[in-house]
Structure 1
Amino acid sequence: MTTIPTFNRSLLHPRYWPTWIGIGLLYLMVLLPYPLLYRLGTSLGRLSMRFMPRRVHIARRNLELCFPDKSSAEREALLIKNFESVGMGLFETGMGWFWPDWRVKRLFKVSGLENISLAHANKQGVLLIGLHFLSLELGARIFGIHNPGIGVYRPNDNKLLDWLQTWGRLRSNKSMLDRSDIKGMIRALKNGEIIWYAPDHDYGPKSSVFAPLFAMEQAATTAGTHMLVRLGKPAVIPFVPRRLPGGKGYELIIMPNEEHLPLESDVATATYMNKVLEQAILLAPDQYMWLHRRFKTRPPGQPSLY
């Protein structure tokens, strides 16, 4: 379990200087007023489409696979809005790491806090389902201000970024767990803790099952949810940080406990969970991380979709 990290002088090595310059620029940028950040972020996102053709292709393909009933024009409009969110996501990461609590709280409306209180009253831990929205760092920050919990993450290969993201995430949370530490997650849930958990990406064939997601009949989906809920017996509570239109701030939506999650098999759990994820994504489809190769893992013998 990772707690607030101690700064190591090795992070001042010249190989980290480009990262330090980027961090410094991000810190200075997020000092700007939010309306200006909104205009800059959305403009930067649209501009990035020219320099990220591979990611544009992946996002466009994901939208085609998930929403075949939408017209090409509708999907293209959603794609552009999505890359506006990519640009905002950079600033929202800096906001989540560097802003003081009062500035974060001023931009957010929060609903559903009673769902966390109810789980605690029932003496349950909480498996907090946090999807990969582009505002996930900022959403985790506001959630932690109200209900500090334990984050689940993959350590960054860049030691400086790993130190920074851990420091930033622990500004309003208790500790971090490596996503491979299943025993640590189960132990924390049994102890009544809140575990931030994201079951919405394709994590590869190991420990995954195939379940429907939107129009895709076979999406590789982690079987970890089944194990965590069966052994940890937590409340399963999704939450969505949603940016409001026109730079009007944000809302954090904390949903009710999914108390009817089926546990007869990992496929049944994954199938049900993917329906929950769909409902959450549709609350802000333009703000979801479509540029991830969500369907890269295919059943044996099936070709790549990208």
Structure 2
Amino acid sequence: MSSKQFFRKDLLHPRYWLTWFGLAILWLWVQLPYPVLLKMGDVIGRASMRFLKRRVSIARQNLKLCFPHYSDEQIDKLVKQNFSSLGMGLIETGMAWFWSDARVRKWFDVSGLEHITAACDKGKGVLAIGVHFMSLELGGRVMGLCRPMMAMYRPHNNKAMEYVQTRGRSRSNKAMIDRRNLKGMVKALKSGEAVWFAPDQDYGPKGSSFAPFFAVPQAATTNGTYTIARLAKPALLTIVLYRKSDGSGYQLVIGAEMDDYPIDDEQAAAEYMNRKIEHEIMRAPEQYLWLHRRFKTRPPGAPKLYTV
């Protein structure tokens, strides 16, 4: 479990100089006014399509699989919007790590704060279900300003990036928990903590069930939510941050507690959670991480869905 980070002299090793240079550029970059950053994110994201052709192909395939009723024109439009959101996501990472609390507060509204307050007031842990929107990094910072919590994450291989990432994420939150540390997560929940967890990606066949996701009838869906729910008995609710379409900032939405989660049926639980995730994605589908090969894992004998 990582919380307060202390700077170590070994982080000044020449192997990290390029990392520090890039982070310094990002720090300078995010000092610009938000409307300027928004325009820059759009330009950078769309330009990146020329160099990320494999990711363009993956995003297009994901959208075709999930929304087969969309025309080619609609798919192409969503792909371009998705890469525009990707460019802004890079900038939002710098905003999350380097902006002051006061500046972050200026750019978001929140609805449903009473839901997590009520759940925490019951004295039990809260498992906050999130999705991988491009603004995910900023979402953690914003949620922490409303109610500090913990979050599952994958430690960075670069020690300098790990230091800055964890320090930035802990500015308004309590701690980060390695996603492989199930015991630590359950312990935190049992002690009454709120912990963020995103079960919306393909984590491979181990510990997964195949459940419908949009128009894909069998998508590998982690059973992590089900396992944690049975072990820790937390309240479950959704938390997402999405970018407002009018450029006026962000909306943090906290859902009501899920009082109908099928705690005794693993398959039904996977299907239930995918429906919840679909609902959250449709708040701003162009901002979701369609670049991830969500349907890489297939049932035995099923054809592959990607050619790249």
**When the two structures are superposed, what TM-score results if normalisation uses the length of structure 1?**
0.98
In structure 1, what residue type is equivalent to 2:265? S
CA contact (8 A) 2:149 2:173 kept: yes
Partner of 1:285: 285
Equivalents in 1 of 2:83, 2:252: separation in Å?
21
In 2, the alpha carbon distance for the partners of 1:28 and 1:18 equals 15
Kindly indicate whether residue 178 of structure 2 is the aligned counterpart of residue 178 of structure 1.
Answer: yes
Indicate the SS of the match to 1:273.
Answer: helix
Corresponding residue for residue 22 of structure 1: 22
Structure 2 counterpart of 1:215: 215
Compute the displacement of 1:14 (Å).
1.5
Provide the C-alpha distance between the structure 1 equivalents of 2:157 and 2:54, rounded to a whole number of angstroms: 22
Name the residue aligned to 2:60. Answer: 60
Alpha-carbon offset, residue 105 of structure 1 = 0.6
Per-residue CA shift, 1:148-188, capped at 9, x if unaligned? 01111011111111111111100011111110111111111
Q: Deviations over 1:76-101 (max 9, x none)?
A: 11111110000000000000010000
Residue in 2 aligned with 1:163? Answer: 163
Matched residues in 2 for 1:88 and 1:61: separation?
22
Displacement after TM superposition at 1:253 (Å): 0.7
Deviation, structure 1 residue 138: 0.5
Q: Percent of counterpart pairs with the same letter? A: 54
Give the 3-state SS of the residue equivalent to 1:245 in structure 2: coil
1:298 aligns with 2:307: no
Aligned length: 306
State the Cα distance separating 1:206 from its structure 2 match. Answer: 1.4
Structure 2 counterpart of 1:231: 231
Deviations 1:12-67 (A, max 9, x none): 12121221111111110000000000000111100000110011011111001101
The alpha carbon displacement at 1:304 in A equals 2.2
Cα distance between partner residues in 1 of 2:274 and 2:18: 39
Distance 1:130 1:287 in 2: 14
Match of 1:148 in 2: 148
Structure 2 counterpart of 1:247: 247
What's the CA shift for 1:192? Answer: 0.8
Deviation at residue 246 of structure 1 after TM alignment: 3.5
> 2:120·2:194 contact (CA, 8 Å) conserved in 1?
no
What is residue 98 of structure 1 aligned with on the other side?
Answer: 98
- Report the AA paired with residue 218 of structure 1: Q
Partner of 1:83: 83
Specify the SS of the correspondent of 1:252.
strand
2:269 is the counterpart of 1:269? yes
Say which SS state the counterpart of residue 177 (structure 2) adopts: strand
User: Which position in structure 2 is the counterpart of 1:36?
Assistant: 36
Q: Given residue 262 of structure 2, which amino acid in structure 1 is its aligned partner?
A: P
Offset from partner CA, 1:101-145 (integer Å, 9 cap, x none): 010010001111000111022222110111111000111101001
Aligned letter for 1:173? N
SS in 1 for 2:86: helix
Matched letter for residue 106 of structure 2: R
Name the SS for the 1:219 alignment partner.
strand
| TM-score of the superposed pair, with normalisation by structure 2 | 0.97
Corresponding residue number in structure 1 for 2:188: 188
Q: State the SS of the aligned residue for 2:220.
A: strand
Q: Relative to structure 2, which stretch is displaced further, 235-244 or 106-115?
A: 235-244
Displacement of 1:230 = 1.3
| CA distance in 2 between partners of 1:301 and 1:12 (Å) | 50
| Consecutive aligned runs of 4 or more in structure 1 exceeding 6 Å deviation | none
Structure 2, unmatched stretches of 5+, are none
Find the aligned partners of 1:292 and 1:7 in 2 and give their Cα distance: 33
Higher mean C-alpha deviation, range 15-24 or range 267-276? 15-24
Choose 258-267 or 25-34, whichever is displaced more: 258-267
For residues 283 and 98 of structure 2, the distance between their equivalents in structure 1, rounded to whole angstroms, comes to 27
Deviation per residue, 1:241-287 (Å, 9 max, x gap): 01012421111011111110102222111110000000000001010
Counterpart-to-counterpart distance in 2, 1:26 and 1:37? 11
In structure 2, how many angstroms separate the alpha carbons of the residues matched to 1:267 and 1:108? 36
Cα distance per residue 1:218-246 (max 9 Å; x no partner): 11111010011112111111111010124
Q: How far apart, CA to CA, are the structure 2 residues paired with 1:37 and 1:56?
A: 23
Match of 2:179, as an amino acid? Answer: R
- CA separation in 2, counterparts of 1:211 and 1:160? 38
